[in-house]
Amino acid sequence: MWWKSGFALLEVAVVAAFVSSVSFTAYQVVRKADEAACQNNLKQIYLALIDFQMNNGFLPNAVFFPSSPDDRKEINNLLADNLGGNKAVFFCPAIPSELNKRGTNYLWNDTVSGKSLDGIPGSTWLMTEVTSISPDAPAPHTRGYQILRADGTVSVGPRLEFPVAASSPKQPPPVDKTVSIASVNDSIQPETVVLSGGIWEGDLSLFRSVGADTILVVDEEGNFSSAQVDVAPGPPEKIEILLPKNNLKAGEGFELEVLVQDRFGNICRFYEGKLSLESSDPAAQIQKMQPILLTESQDPGQIGKFRLVVFKGGNQKIKATLRSNSDGGITGEKAFLVEPGAVDHFTIDRINSPKTAGEPFNVIIRSEDRWGNTVKGPYLSDTTGTLIVSRESYISGVRVEEVLVTKAAKETFLVVEDGNNHFGKSNPFEVKPAAPAYIRLDGIPRVVAMGREYKFKVIFSDRHGNEIPEYTGELEFTSSDHNFRSPEEFLIIFGTPGKQILTVKDKKTGLTLDWVVVVVK
């Protein structure tokens, strides 16, 4: 058992040089959300220190900072059995990954090695982040550095003071630097920020819940640093209700899905509160069904699937409300059309009495379903599920309807049926896409490698989302990248690092698209 009375100037200088070797680009963002995770790490380590002392009678004989992850005197290895092999607690998640190469990114106060917690003042520090060794390195947390003390408390505040190594020349302060921020899985929009004095602190909007993603910070030379993030949905802000597209009939049940979403449309996997449904038809029946799994990343217990039976025909609404104790709740509504059911009986409107012999009078006869909805006649649908009846009339017993279909198809046909197993079908016909309304690119990711060749496609679609494969347009390509190579046979190469914009213009229609990418070396 041994201990020291103070820090060796040489070991402080060695660790300071290691910290200073990391590019200031790596300190791109102060990650506020990691403060609680770091604090929890240090609390778990403290419990392991108590367990170690109970088994050995003294604190671990660990080095100030290890030279490698295999160092036998590394605090990580000495406490491995006490933590059940959990090595993750020895890494503050807000420290750049370049400083994680030696098995931990925390410093150990080796002046307490071999001593007992009972024999040192409770305010004595035990562990803190390795970046506190250098006054030039940015703090890992908004409020500073996490410090574990001998009494078990973990506090966040200013860095500890360490001896200054005279042989270590002071680095000049970092200059302002422009960098671009992007993500591999497109959870953020690429943007350009300025590191003022080597630091940028701000908010990034993660608008797509993609699970694991990699945030890249790229300087103007194409050098980059990366950080792994888990992009989860934000708090619930809206509700979307999904219904079958057509053929909703009175008295016939159909399934609907209720999706709780954040403000970007990501489905919330976990939320608090009670979800309830309400129909504009007071006689409607609503039944909660077994929850379903929409995608692999979503929790099946948080997505609502219901069965709804509506008895009143015409325009109806379904309303979903999520209420919790903390707020007034959020709502979502969906309007839909309910067609009457099959003919069940006929009614004759009241005839005023008396009538005069020989004088004609009007008689109104209605065909109704079993719930009293007026049945107009046969119902029309199509195979694409996008038929819309815009106008209808009756002429001499013949029903005339003006309809439109929004989904393009090489072959479709209309189907007419009356609810009593009587059907009719039109001849097959083609529905072509409408005029070009949108452009999109396929094949160029948001983060591209400088000098690499990318093969891509330009896709036109109409206002209904139908692709127009036969339309190629008269394309013109321009870019903010002055080393950009103009596409030949839809092959493209970017030659300048950083944020770049590729503009695609169709001279025939005037449609344009700006595609933003971040170029890395």
pLDDT at 487: 61
Contact of 286 with 305, CB cutoff 8 Å: no
- The Cα-based distances of 94 to 36, 40, 86 in angstroms read 11, 13, 18
Could you tell me the two tokens for 294? 């929409």
pLDDT of residue 326: 59
What pLDDT score does 268 carry? Answer: 80
Sign of CA dihedral 34, 228, 140, 164: positive
Residue 42 CA to residue 147 CA, distance in Å, equals: 8
Which SS3 state, helix, strand or coil, does residue 133 take? helix
**Model pLDDT, residue 400:** 66
Angle, alpha carbons 87-91-93 (nearest 5°):
130
Contact criterion met (CB below 8 Å) for 317 and 281:
no
Is the peptide bond prior to 433 cis by the omega test (within 30 degrees of 0)? Answer: no
Q: What is the pLDDT of residue 281?
A: 93
Is 270 strand, coil or helix? coil
Q: Judge contact between 146 and 159, C-beta under 8 A.
A: no
pLDDT in tens, the chain (521 residues): 333 444 455 556 667 766 766 655 555 444 544 788 889 899 999 999 999 999 999 999 988 888 888 888 889 889 988 888 888 899 998 888 888 888 899 999 988 998 999 889 999 999 999 888 887 788 888 888 999 999 999 999 898 887 654 334 455 556 677 888 887 777 777 888 887 766 777 777 777 766 777 777 777 777 666 666 677 777 888 999 988 876 788 998 888 888 888 888 888 867 777 888 899 999 999 887 654 333 343 444 445 788 899 999 889 999 998 887 656 688 999 999 898 888 888 777 787 777 666 677 676 777 788 898 888 766 677 777 777 766 666 554 456 677 788 888 888 888 777 666 667 788 888 888 989 999 999 989 888 888 888 889 999 999 988 999 999 889 999 888 877 776 667 888 888 888 899 999 999 999 999 999 888 87
Q: What is the CATH number that goes with domain 438-520?
A: 2.60.40.1930
Domain ranges of the chain: 9-157, 238-338, 345-431, 438-520
Can you give the length of the chain in residues?
521
Q: Would you say the CATH fold of 438-520 matches that of 238-338?
A: yes
The 3-state secondary structure of 364-433, one letter per residue: CEEEECCCCCECCCCEEEECCCCEEEEEEEEECCEEEEEEEECCCEEEECEEEECCCCCEEECCCEEECC
Q: What is the CATH code of the structural domain delimited by 238-338?
A: 2.60.40.10
Amino acid at 193: V
